[in-house]
Structure 1
């Protein structure tokens, strides 16, 4: 709606009832008219002119994070504690959930004892081998005894290596009972509660990085030839009453086998970004630009398959039928195929109360100086007189 302070509709009705005779009375009634005067400021209309009209293929898809992690159980155990809820911010390394680690601690303790025993066995075998080498040098032992000592030392070394490996595996199993954040982000979905049984592969939580959101869209295969990295993209996201700007990062070299559409990855430009992932988005890739007359979308009046605008021509309000073409992907303006010419004045936001042929007076804006607005006062005066009855 036009602002009341900027648009004043003055209705001047003057009826002359002269009782001088039958014919004179009919003539006076026939001359009675309703004259509407519309006062319009510069903020209420725009001038039609040539503008660059961006064009390109439509892209549809959803907003997805580049960094996301589906944290799953790597051991089978009971969920003992869940420390983070949906929407909570986490730092890299923060503990998110803890599984029952009783049996894994026992396994770790057993493996550590086995590693110590293997180390002692190796130390003893090496001392025995050194003694036999000394005795063999003096001829007091046989070569067979020396070889047997070397075999026992080698076996002890192998057992120590195996024991250390089992110890490392047991320690890793124990660490896997603690589910930790892999990076700074937000918990997007919690899958378990205290007391649940977590089998290997069961999803525990999802963590996303909200600062890494991007637009993952699909484009018809017919438009692949005009797509390239670096092109600007204008799109809207479901749930946000604003337009977002992005830039094509990558065009997938392979089309989807089912839909035959091509995936296009779009990065956000600037700090204007959503904070929620998974939302539907739709827009257009700016693959080209042409010069055309344009009109604001808010100025259009749709009536079936016809389109009209309220134009100001020779000081009168006129309902002009136009034909619109493509829509600009950046501003939302429409190209005008016919019905308007350069320099025409069109009201930005038409009202349903407008009448064809109403007089239009261009006035200064509310913040302008009084002398500039002074010439408009006489136009509004008759309306005031008619309404108040003075």
Structure 2
């Protein structure tokens, strides 16, 4: 009995030693998990990107605006005296010269009043001359001589007034232009100030456009401008007006470009594209595909510095062309991430493969 118990104890002790040796010789699960990241951490490589070394170039900085043409000047030609229209000598759409007759107002009794004014003037002249002769002989007082002088001056003024009134029965063009509208017909009675015609001067055109508050400081009076119209015509002009107050609704500023219109081929009210050359500027021509946004919503690109660390640089558009976008705000020479920029973050170290552009 004692021998079998002793044998059982020896067997149990041997099994216990065997099991114990298994725990000591093999690492546990926790130990394996801790050692795995350490082993793998030493083999992680920075993300790979492709980089192109870019050099800045000169590009013409062009500003494009949309505008609408307006005549150099336009006026409603009014009647300057009362009367009935008896003749119209200019049709709608006619080209007229400065001083050309447009319409005639009935002269009425003006010729009779003219003859009366002439007769009165002759009488006043005779009275003044007689008074002057008597005054020289001290037979006429100075007061009487002054009175006859005043009556003579009044007669002269009356005669000039009726002559002017007769001239005003002719409605004349104040400048060379196009008769855009005619508001009267033969037989209409006109009062002083009543509009008879609308006249446009299209020898020069004004094109009005709106410019943003960001760009208005870069535009100068006298700056050359190119105008392009929807039918393909082109005119050369210059900036002749820049508003000093912005539109309260849009915060934009009105500018005017004036251009010669020698053959009157461009009409008022046409849409025009205004092209302003603001001079050359240094910039980089890039594909829109490399643009990205930072956390603040700014548009820019990602570059690498000397330590292969990613940096974000905001950019601004200088010009757009079919070959790409010209952007400003970058250094003269820059190493731009062209492939993989969407997978890396600012401040991150990267592995680069460089190309030259």
TM-score w.r.t. the length of structure 1 is 0.53
CA gap of 1:178–1:271, structure 2 versus 1, over 3 A, is: closer
Return the offset for 1:117: 1.7
Deviations 1:230-253 (Å, cap 9, x if unpaired)? 434344335x23444432233233
Corresponding residue to 1:165 among 153, 157, 175:
157
- Establish whether residue 251 from structure 1 lines up as the match of residue 242 from structure 2: yes
Tell me, in whole angstroms, the C-alpha distance in 2 between the residues paired with 1:102 and 1:172: 14
Other-structure match for 1:217: 209
Other-structure match for 2:49: none
Return the offset for 1:69: 3.5
Tell me, in whole angstroms, the C-alpha distance in 1 between the residues paired with 2:263 and 2:102: 30
Q: Mind listing any 5+ residue stretches in structure 1 that lack a counterpart?
A: 1-49, 134-145, 296-324, 339-390
Tell me, in whole angstroms, the C-alpha distance in 2 between the residues paired with 1:198 and 1:230: 44
Corresponding residue to 2:105 among 89, 96, 99:
99
Q: CA RMSD for the aligned pairs?
A: 3.2
Tell me, in whole angstroms, the C-alpha distance in 1 between the residues paired with 2:91 and 2:249: 37
**Kept in 1: contact 2:225–2:277 (CA 8 A):** yes
Matches within 5 A, 1:272-283: 274-283=265-274
Return the offset for 1:162: 1.0
CA gap of 1:274–1:258, structure 2 versus 1, over 3 A, is: farther
* Mean Cα deviation higher: 209-218 or 241-250: 241-250
Deviations 1:100-119 (Å, cap 9, x if unpaired)? 12133333232222212211
Tell me, in whole angstroms, the C-alpha distance in 2 between the residues paired with 1:335 and 1:200: 64
- Establish whether residue 186 from structure 1 lines up as the match of residue 189 from structure 2: no
Return the offset for 1:226: 1.5
Q: Mind listing any 5+ residue stretches in structure 2 that lack a counterpart?
A: 1-56, 288-316, 327-357
Tell me, in whole angstroms, the C-alpha distance in 2 between the residues paired with 1:164 and 1:280: 55
Return the offset for 1:52: 3.7
- Establish whether residue 55 from structure 1 lines up as the match of residue 62 from structure 2: yes
Deviations 1:129-185 (Å, cap 9, x if unpaired)? 334x2xxxxxxxxxxxx4x53322210100110111111111111111111122333
Return the offset for 1:337: 4.9
Corresponding residue to 2:148 among 139, 144, 156:
156
Tell me, in whole angstroms, the C-alpha distance in 2 between the residues paired with 1:172 and 1:271: 35
Please say which structure displays the higher CA radius of gyration. 2
Other-structure match for 2:135: 129
- Establish whether residue 116 from structure 1 lines up as the match of residue 122 from structure 2: yes
Other-structure match for 1:71: 77
**Kept in 2: contact 1:248–1:267 (CA 8 A):** yes
**Kept in 2: contact 1:91–1:183 (CA 8 A):** yes
Other-structure match for 1:312: none
CA gap of 1:189–1:224, structure 2 versus 1, over 3 A, is: same
Return the offset for 1:335: 4.8
TM-score w.r.t. the length of structure 2 is 0.58
Tell me, in whole angstroms, the C-alpha distance in 2 between the residues paired with 1:255 and 1:106: 58
CA gap of 1:224–1:51, structure 2 versus 1, over 3 A, is: closer
Return the offset for 1:326: 7.6
